[in-house]
Amino acid sequence: MGRLDNKVAIITGAAGGMGKADALLFAQEGAKVAITDLQEDKIKDVVAEIEALGGEALGIKHNVASEEDWVRVVDETIQKFGKIDILVNNAGVSNATPFMDLTVEGWEKTMSINVTSIFLGQKYVIPHMIEAGGGSIVNISSIAGLTGGSGAGPYTASKGAVRMLTKATAVDYAKHNIRCNSVHPGYIETPMTVDLFKDEKMMQWFQSQTPLPRLGKAEDIARGVLFLASDESSYITGVELPIDGGYYAK
């Protein structure tokens, strides 16, 4: 307990799944948390859970692909908590459309939510981190950002872009004591993947791809994100952390 005492964090896509797990764990470890998502009612529920644990939270409706929304989210966080120490860019969408069936609209939507959102978050948060004397950015990519994925070209491309944007940010802002790392989840049980794992044969196939013979849980990812967000990883920047049950080791 107390690994994030006196820290202020923004976590996007925190109404459920991995983002919610991050928010709850961060609050338990002492952080004041601004949680954002498009699902306003679910955000309120997460805020209530955090407050029931004795933590402090701010819920903000947020389209991560909107520059105007990012300006508002950062302003509201600063007004409420006075600073920003941690940014977790968790929000994202999946897109398994084959290239030949993909429209420009579909491509641009995937890129705007998965990549442009991270650029915008960093653009508006980093000045406040510099003012605070440093900070930690954790960008959620995917194992698809490390290996080619069949039938998921747009998603794979977007997650690869997240990985390299993370490295560029790490190099550019290390002089300001700002660290930036990416997390690459494997097959994780979340609201986004629940339909995928309903089919028993599909579930068996996913499990067969992972040396540790189970699907990951949102809490598995949250523990890795917590480490990278905390001062325990103060000499770690520009790395990718697969949390995938050994998938990438094969």
Active site residues: 155
CB count in 10 Å sphere of residue 79: 9
Distance CA(186)–CA(141), nearest Å, equals 10
What are the DSSP calls for 142-193, one per residue?
A: -GGGTS--TT-HHHHHHHHHHHHHHHHHHHHHGGGTEEEEEEEE-SEESTTT
Both tokens assigned to 125: 């948060």
- Beta bridge pairs of residue 8: 32
Distance CA(43)–CA(41), nearest Å, equals 5
Both tokens assigned to 213: 């013979």
φ, ψ for residue 9, nearest 5 deg: -125, 145
CA 180 to chain centroid, in Å, comes to: 12
Q: Sign of torsion, CA 56 61 64 68? A: negative
